[in-house]
Structure 1
Amino acid sequence: MATSSDDMKLTFRRFRDGDHERRSWKEAIFEGDHSHKCPVYVHRTPPCQGSCPAGEDIRGWLQIVRGIEKPPAEMSMQEYAFRRLTSANPFPSVMGRVCPAPCESGCNRNEVDDFVGINSVEQFIGDTAYEQNFKYEEAPALSGKRVAIIGGGPGGMSAAYHLRRRGHASTIFDDHEELGGMMMYGIPEYRVPRDRLRHEVKRILDLGDIDVRLKTRVGTDVSLEDVEKEFDAVVWAVGCQTGRKLPVPGAEAPNCITGVEFLQAFNTGRIKVLNTDKIVCVGGGDTSIDVVSVARRLGKIEAENITDHPEDMVHGYVGHDSAMTAMRSGADVTLTSLFPKEKMTAAEHEVRDALHEGVTILDGVMPVEVVLNDKGRATGLKMAKCEFDGNTPKPVEGTEFVVEANLIISAIGQGGDLTGLETLDNGRGFIDTDKFYQVPGKEGHFVIGDIIRPHLLTTAIGHGAIAADSIDHYLRREQPIKRPRVDVHHFNLLGKLQEFGLEPQPYSGEQIRGTSEGEFAVHNYEDRSAQEIISHQKLFKGHFPFVPRHLRQEHGPGAEEVVGHFEERMQGLSEPEAVEEAKRCMSCGMCFECDNCVIYCPQTAVYRVPKKQSATGRYVATDYDKCIGCHICAEVCPTGYIDMAMGE
């Protein structure tokens, strides 16, 4: 009986375009002795890590969760995974929830069935660390240098963390009442639980010698000159805290506000309900999704004599009480986007959730004018269908229509506020940087995060790690090192061997041709992880069967239940689910101990390293006396870890 198309699970392409015949392994064996090539085990970076702005060793901590890479005897799998992950990113619980996960877009498993749920496993690691109160290793002795970090958001906190791990003390200046930046003041609590965020912030501060000066703005409360006198280096991590107004006539109306203003009002508790039933948000990115989702949850009130102006509630001029908020009902919330839904920059599941919660999305349209009444207040937003001239959106003539609105929120981008710091302003409201995150022409000044160019929270976290490295060289009066081409936190085989007491013996200095018998080298291993990202074309994808993802359960409210619903909508994976999802990782560019090379070698030349000498990345080796160079081991290696490269 023929298999139905619904039951067929095609998991890989057997041939490349243009191939017509399958290669014969038998012919390869008979011709093998002409190649003079033997296997080399080559470590490359997988595209998930190459796509991660924080540079996490994603494959590494997935290997730990799945049980391939073993922790030291005194440490649990969970803590070992936590330590590997936080070597790059000190916010696993937060980022596991809100990062749009470019790593998942880059995942080679997309060529088989579907990407690995990387940030769901990251959330599991972060939440487990919270529940079991994992701590960082004790920080090294102080260098005697102290760095000023201006801004306590994800970038500034990351810089403080990585500097302290290099022995440098710091002082964080922030003009808010709490640390956390946009994680605290830009993202609603039902997406970032504040207990998790505060715990991860405190865990960084617990390293010691990281001072904090809150409600202090450098440039107004403290002069730039005083900071330069007190500290050995300065990191600018001020972020982009001002929203962009709509670039259309009428956008200066008092009831036209920015998404940043709206979300800060909500996250600081200044606004608990709205008094309007017609809200329009212009955007299409993650911030705009947060705006409309919050607006749907806040709902509207119909009590008399509260205020005629919804922006007064946003700016905190109106008090709330429980009786008032109890009277709320659902507001009419509309999101407009230049792009079609499938091309919006917001995460796909966030768009889906907003629609489920009752948000109306008008896509492929653009604002052309704010409609004003005789008092100068907005009563609607004139829109038109949109077409693009290159990258420039243009309204389609004759397609104009008006969306009624009592509150218009612009979420089309953010800018910096460099008041009092004009000498750093590049003329566009941002700060310039070189490739080492130094401010050009300002010795000892470094800059990270959105104030360079608005991007992701995890991008700022990655900037903090790289800048800490540059600052470390600066404080030691060393020239910055050339950054690796693939700038991530790479798996270190020598470090792994040292962890288990298996490091190579000291080199005697003798010139020896070949290293297969030498105890001073790791047998036929090459590390190209700092230069190369492994493509799916190097993998033997036929090894991997179709395995569905283990999805986090969502408890998102529908349109009828959304008002007043502020509970977290995503339930994390259980430990068994996290382990099974981690097992879907194809370990691109690193051995995951499948034994294919050992089983299929026709000469028994490939063998397992004795268990007492084995470690991650050092599971198999080759007997050159037996190897004929047939390259079958390289053909059947699922992870692309084997190259036929040893020889002449």
Structure 2
Amino acid sequence: MGKTTGFMEYGRSNYEKISPEERITNWDEMREETTEEKIRTQAARCMSCGIPFCSAGIMLPNGASGCPLHNLIPEWNDMVYRGQWREAYERLTLTNPFPEFTGRVCPAPCEGSCTLGHIDEPVTISSIEYEIIEHAFQNGWVKPAKAPATGKRIAVVGSGPAGMATAHYLTSVGHAVTVFERNDRPGGLLMYGIPNMKLDKDIIQRRISILEEAGVSFVCNTEVGKDISSQELVDTYDAVVLCGGATQARGINAEGNDLKGVHMAMDFLKANTQNILADETKESSISAKGKNVIVIGGGDTGTDCVGTSIRQGANSVFQFEIMPKAPDKRDVDTNPWPEWPKKLKTDYGQEEAIYLTGSDPRNYEINTTKFEGNEAGEVTAVHTTQIEWKRDAVGRLNPVPVEGTEKVWKADLVLLAMGFTGPEDTIPDELALQRDFRSNILAKENEYTTNVDKVFACGDMRRGQSLVVWALQEGKLAAREVDRFLTGNSNIN
């Protein structure tokens, strides 16, 4: 333990974001540069607990607790405090293949279960992780993972975080991996689902290039089940790993949902990123410029839609959330530590809206009842009502409209950011894969095997919509099981 009394001497200092005034003028990442002294001071706050709950990655009754990758957090915190950056990098990447992604976009469940966070503010684990991997890239420590060829060939379907992790680990033990991606660039959700100001696309390409140097082959603009059959992959390769994600977006059952100007959030975000990568001086094919925007959905994707709309020059932006407003602090009776703290978070998109308008764009316990349009079939307004959550006869909570709270909102663009219902049907139907009650591909926990020989599944396609960090862990463990299936044992942990 580097600094025995560090947690008593130093307060938490989050990484600084570029001011809203400046950052809304561009698509650059929002993180301000910091000093090594500040990071080492923050690392000194780690208590080096006897039981590091931050590393647990377990499921509790009300959700996950700790890091799903089981990162050795106290160990690399101590190394950073001592200035041992190379050792910290090596320790971090024992468990995390891509810290540059999690250090940018993970909500840090590790911090939610930090022991110091039980009595004070938690350690800035995410920021320290970010600094470790960026030190590694700057110093040339990040190298391709290679091994003598085994002669085994694996097809990975989907190049998002689960697919990239699967490919990384299988290549590291000598297997030949081909990753099929239906988009024009690898990266999946990382490339087209997360805006550039949160995850610069050059960061993804930096990692893709390392994977290619290691021997991974990416085949883009190729949709499995359409451009090449799923069965052909099963017949051609020694194993197939399905990492296609839970990409079936949840729609809304309201009159007028087919009007022009009502879009799925991912279509909007993808179009904007494609525009930036091509030529950001042009207007995106789905643009908020000069429009009154309504974002339906209060999660991270909804926030990304708010931030993107603001940068595109929206006239106004409002965000609807059907759930109640979260408390400012953790409710220790219903949401005790070390569970993930369910409390109000004002993210970058809301910060920017507040800067521009003076008010939070979020509206809670509000239900959309109808979309209104003009003669051209374009959306012009959204009808809503406030709701209350009440229990029915069997104790289930249901939204009940509050009489007299009906309201009409001007809208030229409506973005549906209400999550995902599961994987698309094409591949599961073609291979006759068994599915669970949520429509996810049924694959055994910790084995990742499906009912079809040689076919494995992991990530959101298996567990449903989840975090990037869970996708990385599932990709790692699925790679281990594929390696074991092909060789009889595995050194992937």
User: For residue 56 of structure 1, what is the aligned residue in structure 2?
Assistant: 71
Percent identity reads: 28
Partner-residue secondary structure (3-state), 1:432: coil
1:444 aligns with 2:454: yes
Could you tell me how far apart the structure 2 residues matched to 1:356 and 1:62 are?
Answer: 35
Residue 365 of structure 2 aligns with an amino acid whose one-letter code is G
User: For residue 224 of structure 1, what is the aligned residue in structure 2?
Assistant: 230
Residue 178 of structure 2 aligns with an amino acid whose one-letter code is T
Q: Does the CA-based 8 Å contact 1:242-1:260 persist in structure 2? A: no
Could you tell me how far apart the structure 1 residues matched to 2:354 and 2:103 are?
Answer: 22
Q: Does the CA-based 8 Å contact 2:55-2:70 persist in structure 1? A: no
User: For residue 161 of structure 2, what is the aligned residue in structure 1?
Assistant: 154
Shift of 1:225: 1.9
Could you tell me how far apart the structure 1 residues matched to 2:146 and 2:473 are?
Answer: 20
User: For residue 99 of structure 1, what is the aligned residue in structure 2?
Assistant: 106
User: For residue 255 of structure 2, what is the aligned residue in structure 1?
Assistant: 249
Q: Does the CA-based 8 Å contact 2:365-2:386 persist in structure 1? A: yes
Could you tell me how far apart the structure 2 residues matched to 1:347 and 1:237 are?
Answer: 30
Distance 1:141 1:44, change over 3 A: farther
1:261 aligns with 2:267: yes
User: For residue 381 of structure 2, what is the aligned residue in structure 1?
Assistant: 380
Shift of 1:292: 0.9
Could you tell me how far apart the structure 1 residues matched to 2:158 and 2:263 are?
Answer: 24
Distance 1:119 1:215, change over 3 A: same
Residue 134 of structure 1 aligns with an amino acid whose one-letter code is W
Q: Does the CA-based 8 Å contact 1:220-1:420 persist in structure 2? A: no
User: For residue 301 of structure 2, what is the aligned residue in structure 1?
Assistant: 287
Shift of 1:464: 0.5
Q: Does the CA-based 8 Å contact 2:303-2:347 persist in structure 1? A: no
Match of 1:353 among 344, 351, 354: 351
Corresponding pairs, count: 406
Instruction: State the TM-score, normalizing by the size of structure 1.
Output: 0.58
Could you tell me how far apart the structure 2 residues matched to 1:335 and 1:230 are?
Answer: 47
- Cα deviations by residue, 1:502-560 (Å, 9 ceiling, x for unpaired): xxxxxxxxxxxxxxxxxxxxxxxxxxxxxxxxxxxxxxxxxxxxxxxxxxxxxxxxxxx
Match of 1:274 among 283, 288, 310: 288
User: For residue 318 of structure 2, what is the aligned residue in structure 1?
Assistant: 334
- Cα deviations by residue, 1:389-429 (Å, 9 ceiling, x for unpaired): 43433322332111111111100012432335413373865
Question: If you compute each CA radius of gyration, which structure gives the higher value, 1 or 2?
Answer: 1
Q: Does the CA-based 8 Å contact 2:161-2:471 persist in structure 1? A: yes
User: For residue 433 of structure 2, what is the aligned residue in structure 1?
Assistant: 424
Could you tell me how far apart the structure 2 residues matched to 1:123 and 1:391 are?
Answer: 40
Match of 1:119 among 126, 129, 136: 126
Q: Does the CA-based 8 Å contact 1:437-1:448 persist in structure 2? A: no
Could you tell me how far apart the structure 1 residues matched to 2:112 and 2:304 are?
Answer: 22
Q: Does the CA-based 8 Å contact 1:130-1:199 persist in structure 2? A: no
Could you tell me how far apart the structure 2 residues matched to 1:195 and 1:142 are?
Answer: 30
Instruction: State the TM-score, normalizing by the size of structure 2.
Output: 0.75
Shift of 1:474: 1.2
User: For residue 366 of structure 1, what is the aligned residue in structure 2?
Assistant: 367
- Cα deviations by residue, 1:249-269 (Å, 9 ceiling, x for unpaired): 221212211101100000110
User: For residue 62 of structure 2, what is the aligned residue in structure 1?
Assistant: none
Structure 2 counterparts to residues 179-198 of structure 1, below 5 A: 179-198=186-205
User: For residue 392 of structure 1, what is the aligned residue in structure 2?
Assistant: 398
Distance 1:425 1:387, change over 3 A: farther
User: For residue 212 of structure 1, what is the aligned residue in structure 2?
Assistant: 218
Distance 1:215 1:475, change over 3 A: same
Q: Does the CA-based 8 Å contact 1:148-1:233 persist in structure 2? A: yes
Match of 2:88 among 72, 76, 81: 81
Q: Does the CA-based 8 Å contact 1:100-1:347 persist in structure 2? A: no
Residue 381 of structure 1 aligns with an amino acid whose one-letter code is V
Residue 435 of structure 1 aligns with an amino acid whose one-letter code is E
Partner-residue secondary structure (3-state), 2:388: strand
Residue 431 of structure 1 aligns with an amino acid whose one-letter code is I
Could you tell me how far apart the structure 2 residues matched to 1:196 and 1:81 are?
Answer: 20
Q: Does the CA-based 8 Å contact 1:292-1:333 persist in structure 2? A: yes
Shift of 1:59: 2.1
User: For residue 178 of structure 2, what is the aligned residue in structure 1?
Assistant: 171
Shift of 1:53: 2.2
Shift of 1:276: 3.9
- Cα deviations by residue, 1:264-316 (Å, 9 ceiling, x for unpaired): 000110844534421100000000000011001101xxxxxxxxxxxxxxxxx
Where does structure 2 lack aligned partners over 5 or more consecutive residues? 1-7, 12-48, 58-65, 277-282, 328-341, 391-395
Shift of 1:194: 1.9
- Cα deviations by residue, 1:102-145 (Å, 9 ceiling, x for unpaired): 11111111123110011101111122122222223752322221
User: For residue 475 of structure 1, what is the aligned residue in structure 2?
Assistant: 486
Residue 138 of structure 2 aligns with an amino acid whose one-letter code is E
Distance 1:165 1:347, change over 3 A: farther
Partner-residue secondary structure (3-state), 2:275: coil
Could you tell me how far apart the structure 2 residues matched to 1:286 and 1:97 are?
Answer: 13
Could you tell me how far apart the structure 1 residues matched to 2:246 and 2:176 are?
Answer: 25
Q: Does the CA-based 8 Å contact 2:317-2:353 persist in structure 1? A: no
User: For residue 433 of structure 1, what is the aligned residue in structure 2?
Assistant: 443
Which protein, 1 or 2, shows the higher relative CO under an 8 Å CA cutoff with sep ≥ 6? 1
Shift of 1:363: 1.7
Where does structure 1 lack aligned partners over 5 or more consecutive residues? 1-7, 12-41, 68-75, 300-329, 482-487, 490-648
- Cα deviations by residue, 1:19-74 (Å, 9 ceiling, x for unpaired): xxxxxxxxxxxxxxxxxxxxxxx97543344311233222222122122xxxxxxx
Shift of 1:332: 0.5
User: For residue 413 of structure 2, what is the aligned residue in structure 1?
Assistant: 407
Partner-residue secondary structure (3-state), 1:222: coil
Structure 2 counterparts to residues 240-639 of structure 1, below 5 A: 240-269=246-275, 271-272=283-284, 273-299=287-313, 330-342=314-326, 347-350=345-348, 352-358=350-356, 360-389=361-390, 390-414=396-420, 415-419=422-426, 421-422=428-429, 423-424=432-433, 426=435, 430-452=440-462, 453-477=464-488
Could you tell me how far apart the structure 2 residues matched to 1:436 and 1:239 are?
Answer: 18
Shift of 1:433: 1.6
Q: Does the CA-based 8 Å contact 2:367-2:386 persist in structure 1? A: yes
Q: Does the CA-based 8 Å contact 2:144-2:211 persist in structure 1? A: no
Could you tell me how far apart the structure 2 residues matched to 1:47 and 1:95 are?
Answer: 15
Could you tell me how far apart the structure 2 residues matched to 1:338 and 1:406 are?
Answer: 21
Could you tell me how far apart the structure 1 residues matched to 2:151 and 2:160 are?
Answer: 25
Could you tell me how far apart the structure 1 residues matched to 2:163 and 2:179 are?
Answer: 7
User: For residue 334 of structure 2, what is the aligned residue in structure 1?
Assistant: none
Residue 483 of structure 2 aligns with an amino acid whose one-letter code is D
Shift of 1:220: 1.1
Residue 279 of structure 1 aligns with an amino acid whose one-letter code is V
Could you tell me how far apart the structure 1 residues matched to 2:347 and 2:211 are?
Answer: 31
